[in-house]
Amino acid sequence: MKEMKKSSYSIYFFGIAFFLYGMIFPLYRLSDLLLATGVSFLAYALAGKVLPKEEVIKTVKDAALREAMTEADGYIEKIKAQNTLINDKDISGKLSRIISITEEIFDVALNREGEVKDVRRMLNYYLPTIIKLLDQYIELSSRTVNGDNIGISLAKISEMLTTIIFAFEKHLDGMYSQEAMDIDSEIMVLEAILTSEGLLEKENETIKLTLE
């Protein structure tokens, strides 16, 4: 499988632009350093668009991720089947959320240069454990006698599903870290350009546009 990515030489334009800026303009103040960094990011971004993209062949990693996705599909189908046997709407809602997050995690891993290690723990432990807990939940909730121990066990499983949702959401958010860095870079470049053109001022970290 082939994929096109930004030229690896783009990063050199960042360093060259910063060096040249420092040779031409003073870098005594923090604002000077920020402006130099912004100009350098701009050079990096422009180089990424101008320079020919590099062709990257993705085979082993991509195949491993797709194999992991197939394995995950099996777990997801099992959870869906278990969900049909559960009458509690709260539990069913949590399971639907877990399924949705799991599918998105694997989608991100497949489409955003993820690594197998990003999802391997889910396959080796989390998803199988969820299925085991649900088997226990289904068995306990089907008992004709609803004693204290059964009630406590069911409540603990429900609480654990909530914890799993939180953990999966946190994991998914972490997978978007590169996108967050790219956005920060774009914002820094834009602020640097606006500042250099006298359209932006910063007072006590508060941004003010000066369009008069």
Supply angle C-alpha 24, 211, 185, rounded to 5. Answer: 55
Co-location of 75 and 50 in the same domain: no
Co-location of 153 and 125 in the same domain: yes
Co-location of 112 and 40 in the same domain: no
* CA–CA distance, 193 with 170 (Å, rounded to integer): 34
pLDDT in tens, 200-210: 665 544 444 44
Co-location of 183 and 138 in the same domain: no
Residue type, 153: S
pLDDT in tens, 116-155: 666 777 888 899 999 999 999 999 988 877 788 999 999 9
Which domain range does residue 201 map to? 2-56+179-209
* CA–CA distance, 60 with 74 (Å, rounded to integer): 21
- Where b means 16+ CB within 10 Å and e means fewer, 17-40 reads bbeebeeeeeeeeeeeeebbbbbb
pLDDT value at 76 more than 60: yes
Co-location of 41 and 138 in the same domain: no
- With a pLDDT cut of 90, the percent of the chain lying above it is 28
Co-location of 78 and 170 in the same domain: yes
3-state secondary structure of 207: strand
Specify the pLDDT at position 35.
76
- pTM confidence score: 0.59
pLDDT band with cut points at 50, 70 and 90 for residue 93: very high
* CA–CA distance, 135 with 139 (Å, rounded to integer): 6
Structural domain total, the chain = 2
* CA–CA distance, 184 with 9 (Å, rounded to integer): 21
Co-location of 83 and 171 in the same domain: yes
